[in-house]
Structure 1
């Protein structure tokens, strides 16, 4: 009888050993996945512009009759797309609309 009890204990020990090995593998894989996600998060789209050259800017005070479009027309290079300049001005000034008010200061690229 003692040999049966020993075999049962031995089998139970083997199962625990196998389970512990799998647990270590799972924890290791999870650690690798978490590290990869952290690397992706740190190097994701939010840092995509960090390698771009800094844009030289100046400020402009909106005068009566100025519109974002009229100002964009003045600074868009010949043959350039004025609508792209308007979009750029909206982006760098965090504007939701193209509306401007007299006296408002906007940041504009130096060209």
Structure 2
């Protein structure tokens, strides 16, 4: 607890100077204490961090998933890439009666391949065999 008294000045002060002084008795001036995080503050910081991480996972996580649909039984087979094979030759061998462009697009989606990326020899690809 502190007590403050206002005391009038006894001498003449120049123009613009305060006409009275304050004297404080009791508690010392407040010392700047370090900032401490309360339990509620910790919960808020953790919640905000989790919200940011979840948002990033939702936004950028869809680029990692190869496809949103599970293939039906017997509609997909695996092929190991041999030297000289391309997506077009693999698609033509897997579905000779179907549109090759559509089959290539399905292979790219099923395996999350990048557009224009070369196929590494020995890689295993999921290839659709029927519609």
Q: What TM-score, normalized by structure 1, do the two folds share?
A: 0.46
Larger RCO (CA within 8 A; separation ≥ 6): 1
Which structure's residues are more often helix, by fraction? 1
Q: What TM-score, normalized by structure 2, do the two folds share?
A: 0.40
Which structure's residues are more often strand, by fraction? 2
